[in-house]
Amino acid sequence: MQNLLALNWKMNKTPTEARAWAQELAGKLSPGPAELAVMAPAITLSTLAANLPAGVAFGGQDVSAHEAGAYTGEISAAMLKDVGATYAVVGHSERREYHGETDAAVAAKAKQAQLSGLIPIVCVGEGLDVRERGEHVAYTLAQLDGSLSGVGPDVVIAYEPVWAIGTGKTATADDAEELAAAIREALTTRYGSDADEIRVLYGGSVKPDNIASICAKPNVNGALVGGASLKVADVLGMNDALKG
Ligand SMILES: O=C[C@H](O)COP(=O)(O)O
């Protein structure tokens, strides 16, 4: 399965900065080995559509659970699809923490994304307190179960331990694999053999110097990257590291 390098800019880059980033990438990227996808602020997506090199996908960082209508400030799945998006991140820990998103809300967003032909990237992962109690596997699988209620198998899962996000504390490759394997097993229970095609990403302080060992694990199929997605040099470094 081809690794997915999903680049989450979070609330960074104006459309002008996004254009410069995309043009720099277009000038320097050589094809493969990972699939690249930029999860960017919605206001930059048309600019990315016009400037990203061929083969580099993009998507939203969130999507509404509603199809259309009186939901001020929301972005619908159909809107993302119309500008050419392939993916939509749902249930990122920052949405769960700062916007109170529940597993049920995340599942509703993922379902709405799929109805418009987008692939949801469903994020799960435990906080430090849960990890220290040794309950990280059970916690994350319960979150996964609730977040996939009614969601079909055309999905990507991102395991992001919250304590490793933006902190410089990376989970070890073995930590990532422990959860990726548990997630794969849960996906197999839910989707049968379709689970073999579902990419399970790791996220949390991924950089050019640690991505290769993490993605070498059998159940890890790429990374969801925050801080190291902002500079083209780091993105090229991560992509090169996956060449092995
Ligand atoms: O979506 C990305 C994750 O939150 C990881 O962010 P980070 O690479 O800055 O730790």
197 is catalytic: no
pLDDT, one tens digit per residue, over 9-23 is 999 999 999 999 999
Sorted by where each starts, the structural domains of the chain and their CATH numbers stand as: 4-241 (3.20.20.70)
Residue nearest atom 2 in ligand 1 by C-alpha distance: 226
Consecutive H or E run containing 147 = helix 136-147
Query: The dihedral of CA 169, 174, 178, 183: what is its sign?
Result: positive
pLDDT, one tens digit per residue, over 175-222 is 999 999 999 999 999 999 999 999 999 999 999 999 999 999 999 999
pLDDT at res. 5: 98
Query: The dihedral of CA 175, 107, 205, 218: what is its sign?
Result: positive
Residue nearest atom 8 in ligand 1 by C-alpha distance: 226
Can you tell me the mean pLDDT for 25-49?
A: 95
pTM of the full structure: 0.97
160 is catalytic: yes
pLDDT, one tens digit per residue, over 78-134 is 999 999 999 999 999 999 999 999 999 999 999 999 999 999 999 999 999 999 999
Report the nearest atom of ligand 1 relative to the CA of 165.
Answer: 10
pLDDT at res. 32: 80
Q: Give the distance from CA 105 to its chain's centroid.
A: 17
Q: Are 176 and 220 in contact, with CB atoms under 8 Å apart?
A: yes
pLDDT at res. 244: 67
**Centre of ligand 1 from the C-alpha of residue 94, in Å:** 10
pLDDT at res. 170: 77
pLDDT at res. 167: 81
**Centre of ligand 1 from the C-alpha of residue 125, in Å:** 12
> Which position among 35, 94, 126, 160 bears the catalytic label?
160
Residue recorded with tokens 């990227």: 29
User: Whole-number mean pLDDT of the chain?
Assistant: 96
Looking at the chain, how many residues does it have?
244
- Whether the per-residue pLDDT at 34 is higher than 90: the answer is yes
Q: Specify the 3-state DSSP secondary structure of 143.
A: helix
pLDDT, one tens digit per residue, over 49-86 is 999 999 999 999 999 999 999 999 999 999 999 999 99
